[in-house]
Amino acid sequence: MKKTVFYSLFLFSSCAVRSVYVPTTHNVLLFDNKKQIQANGYLGDNHIELQLAHNPFNHFVSGANTYLGKGLRMYEGYMGIYNYSKTNYKWRFEVLGGVNYTTNFNLQSKAWFSVFQEKKSNYETFSQFNKYFIQPNLGFYSKIEMYKVSYSFSISNRVSYIYFKKYVYREYDPSLSSMQSTHAYIVNKQYYNKYLFLFEPCITNKVGIKNISLVMQGQFMIPSSKEIDIRYTKFSPVFIFSMGLQYNFVFKTKN
């Protein structure tokens, strides 16, 4: 019997630049009546994201996420409750609540794409924040018996309160050789101990064979704040498409 869950996953993201706020992929667990461990992992161009969740008893789930990348560290824990339809477990629902701590530093040269600016620029981001969120998920599960393939569609919406202990965003004049000179700043935004709210609606599709599934996720980001000028925040690039793998380890039940 396998005693550990090992997971490898490849994600190709439309997130072309790193932002002051670094989004995480949604945990859409939606367990049924079986006790199991669900492991997800994502590999991007500048980070690796790993997720692990478990339902130690029926209708309760807990889990943790982490980001690892150059200048980037994220640690997140959550717990929640879930339920499912009694007929083939096709409809499933859950509500998760969690806490996140992130530190993020990035020096970007020649950024070609950004929603919040129209020209190429060099920029620097440095942020440290705590995130508190609640996330309801609703999904539909089914199978194609002929091909032994399972699939699911789900919608979710993470609502977050993000408290920035440090928020720095600076754009530099790309024509100047020195990016460290204060005279080179085109934009210099700094906030300390400020907050913003973030809404992240998301659609997730999973297609799997046995215990392994391909995960495809499209996620929007809608920020709002009275304390931070979000025009100079790179929520890159407001819409993110992610692909990855998921492994489910299901515990055998005693007869």
**pLDDT tens string 143-167:** 998 889 999 999 999 999 999 999 9
Low-confidence ranges of the chain (pLDDT < 70): 1-17, 45, 108-121, 174-183, 232-237, 253-255
- Looking at the DSSP assignment, which residues form a beta bridge with residue 231? none
- Identify the pLDDT of residue 182: 57
End-to-end CA distance of the chain: 17
Q: 184 — phi, psi (to 5°)? A: -85, -5
The pair of structure tokens assigned to 151 is 């699939």
Architecture of domain 36-250: Beta Barrel (2.40)
Q: What is the pTM of this model?
A: 0.83
For 88, counting Cβ atoms within 10 Å of its Cβ (0-12 exposed, 13-18 middle, 19+ buried), the class is: exposed
- Identify the pLDDT of residue 190: 93
CB of 202 within 8 A of CB of 217? yes
Does the bond joining 237 to the residue before it have cis omega, within 30 degrees of 0? yes
d(CA 146, CA 134) in angstroms, rounded, equals 38
CB of 24 within 8 A of CB of 198? no
Could you tell me which residues come within 8 angstroms of residue 219 by beta carbon, excluding any fewer than 6 positions away?
23, 25, 26, 200, 201, 202, 239, 240, 241, 242
DSSP state of 110: E
Alpha carbon 118 to its chain's center:
26
DSSP state of 252: P
